[in-house]
Chains A and B, each alone.
Chain A
Amino acid sequence: MKETPLSNCERDFLLKAIEEKKRLDGRQTYDYRKMKITFGTDYGCCFVDLGKTRVMAQVSCELVVPKESRPNEGIMFFNIELSPMASPAFEQGRQSELSVKLNRQLERCLRNSKCIDTESLCVVSGEKVWQIRVDVHMLNHDGNLMDAASIAAITALCHFRRPDVGIQGDEVTVYSPEERDPIPLSIYHMPISVSFSFFQQGTYLLVDPCEREERVMDGLLMIAMNKHREICSIQSSGGIMLLKEQVMRCSKIASVKVSEITELISKALENDKKARKAGERCGFAESMPQERITALKTYETPVEMTDVSDRANDIVQKAEAPPQMVPSPVVPVPGVGQVGQGLQNTWGLEEGDEEEEEENDSSDEDQEEQVTEMKEKQHEKMEIRGGDVVEISDSEEEEVVILHPEIPDKAPITKSSSHQKGAAALKKRQKK
Chain B
Amino acid sequence: MFSSLKDKVGQVLLPGDEFSFDTEDTISLTTPVKPEKVVCGPGLRRSGTDCRCVKAASCDTKLPTFCTHNTQHQRHYVPVKGETVIGIVTVKSGDIFKVDFGGSEQASLSYLAFEGATKRNRPNVQVGDLVFAQFVVANKDMEPELVCVDSGGRANGMGVFGGGGLLFTVSLGLVRRLLSPQSDLMQDLQKLFPCELVVGMNGRLWVRSSSTQRTLIIANLLQSCETMTAPQRKALFARVAEGTL
Q: Is B83 an interface residue, CB under 8 A from the partner? A: yes
Residue numbers in B under 8 Å from A293 (CB-CB): 73, 227
A-contact 0/1 string along B194-220, CB 8 Å cutoff: 000000000000100000110110011
A304 and B11 within 8 A (CB): yes
Stretch at the interface among B109-117, B158-166, B237-245: B158-166
A16 and B212 within 8 A (CB): yes
B220 and A302 within 8 A (CB): no
A345 and B82 within 8 A (CB): yes
A349 and B129 within 8 A (CB): no
A340 and B10 within 8 A (CB): no
Q: Is B181 an interface residue, CB under 8 A from the partner? A: yes
B228 and A295 within 8 A (CB): yes
The docked-state distance in angstroms from the alpha carbon of A293 to that of B68 is 19
Q: Is B90 an interface residue, CB under 8 A from the partner? A: yes
CB contacts under 8 Å to A, within B49-99, are 58, 66, 68, 72-73, 78-83, 88, 90
A349 and B180 within 8 A (CB): yes
Q: Is A239 an interface residue, CB under 8 A from the partner? A: no
Q: Considering residues A303, A344, A347, A359, which has the most beta carbons from chain B within 10 angstroms of its beta carbon?
A: A347
Q: Is A290 an interface residue, CB under 8 A from the partner? A: no
A5 and B80 within 8 A (CB): no
Q: A13-B164, A295-B229 are in contact. Are A340 and B139 (CB under 8 A)?
A: yes
CB contacts under 8 Å to B, within A336-361, are 339-350, 353, 356-359
B100 and A5 within 8 A (CB): yes
Q: A292-B227, A343-B78, A358-B136 are in contact. Are A9 and B180 (CB under 8 A)?
A: no
The docked-state distance in angstroms from the alpha carbon of A11 to that of B206 is 13
B151 and A357 within 8 A (CB): yes
B82 and A353 within 8 A (CB): yes
Residue numbers in B under 8 Å from A10 (CB-CB): 166-167
Q: How far is the CB of A292 from chain B (nearest CB, A)?
A: 7
Number of interface residues of B (CB under 8 A): 63
B129 and A342 within 8 A (CB): no
Residue numbers in B under 8 Å from A6 (CB-CB): 128
The docked-state distance in angstroms from the alpha carbon of A206 to that of B210 is 25
Q: How far is the CB of B233 from chain A (nearest CB, A)?
A: 10
Q: A349-B180, A357-B151, A358-B151 are in contact. Are A342 and B139 (CB under 8 A)?
A: yes
Residue numbers in B under 8 Å from A20 (CB-CB): 212-213
A294 and B162 within 8 A (CB): no
Q: How far is the CB of B126 from chain A (nearest CB, A)?
A: 7
Residue numbers in A under 8 Å from B163 (CB-CB): 9, 12
Q: Is A203 an interface residue, CB under 8 A from the partner? A: no
Q: A25-B220, A348-B39 are in contact. Are A5 and B139 (CB under 8 A)?
A: no
Residue numbers in B under 8 Å from A12 (CB-CB): 163-164
Q: How far is the CB of A142 from chain B (nearest CB, A)?
A: 12
A7: contacting residue among B68, B79, B162, CB under 8 A = B162
B216 and A7 within 8 A (CB): no
Q: Is A8 an interface residue, CB under 8 A from the partner? A: yes
Q: Considering residues A9, A295, A396, which has the most beta carbons from chain B within 10 angstroms of its beta carbon?
A: A9
Q: A13-B215, A24-B216, A295-B232 are in contact. Are A342 and B140 (CB under 8 A)?
A: yes
Q: Is A301 an interface residue, CB under 8 A from the partner? A: yes
B-contact 0/1 string along A259-298, CB 8 Å cutoff: 0000000000000000000000000000000001111100
Residue numbers in B under 8 Å from A346 (CB-CB): 40-42, 44
Residue numbers in B under 8 Å from A356 (CB-CB): 150-151
Q: Is A17 an interface residue, CB under 8 A from the partner? A: yes
Residue numbers in A under 8 Å from B126 (CB-CB): 8
Name the CB-closest residue of A to B226.
A294
CB contacts under 8 Å to A, within B94-141, are 100, 102, 126, 128-130, 136-141
Q: Is B1 an interface residue, CB under 8 A from the partner? A: no
Q: Is A168 an interface residue, CB under 8 A from the partner? A: no
B162 and A347 within 8 A (CB): no
The docked-state distance in angstroms from the alpha carbon of A26 to that of B140 is 41
Residue numbers in B under 8 Å from A348 (CB-CB): 39, 41, 66
Residue numbers in A under 8 Å from B136 (CB-CB): 358
The docked-state distance in angstroms from the alpha carbon of A294 to that of B228 is 6
Residue numbers in B under 8 Å from A345 (CB-CB): 80-83
Q: A13-B165, A357-B151, A358-B136 are in contact. Are A339 and B141 (CB under 8 A)?
A: yes
The docked-state distance in angstroms from the alpha carbon of A46 to that of B147 is 49
Q: A12-B163, A342-B138, A348-B39 are in contact. Are A7 and B212 (CB under 8 A)?
A: no
Residue numbers in A under 8 Å from B100 (CB-CB): 2, 4-5
A340 and B140 within 8 A (CB): yes
A347 and B212 within 8 A (CB): no
Q: Is B186 an interface residue, CB under 8 A from the partner? A: no
The docked-state distance in angstroms from the alpha carbon of A356 to that of B152 is 9
The docked-state distance in angstroms from the alpha carbon of A12 to that of B142 is 34
Q: How far is the CB of B157 from chain A (nearest CB, A)?
A: 13
Q: A7-B167, A301-B58 are in contact. Are A294 and B227 (CB under 8 A)?
A: yes
Q: Is B184 an interface residue, CB under 8 A from the partner? A: no
Q: How far is the CB of B16 from chain A (nearest CB, A)?
A: 11
Residue numbers in B under 8 Å from A347 (CB-CB): 41-42, 68, 176
B142: contacting residue among A295, A304, A339, CB under 8 A = A339
Q: A9-B164, A12-B163, A26-B220 are in contact. Are A302 and B141 (CB under 8 A)?
A: no
Q: Is A429 an interface residue, CB under 8 A from the partner? A: no
Residue numbers in A under 8 Å from B102 (CB-CB): 4
12 A-B pairs in the complex with CB atoms less than 8 angstroms apart = A8-B126, A13-B215, A16-B212, A22-B213, A24-B219, A25-B220, A301-B58, A345-B81, A345-B83, A347-B176, A356-B150, A357-B151
5 interchain residue pairs of minimum CB distance: A342-B139, A9-B162, A8-B128, A340-B141, A340-B139
10 more A-B contacts (CB under 8 A) besides A5-B100, A304-B17, A344-B80?
A5-B88, A5-B128, A7-B88, A20-B213, A22-B213, A24-B216, A293-B73, A301-B58, A339-B139, A356-B151
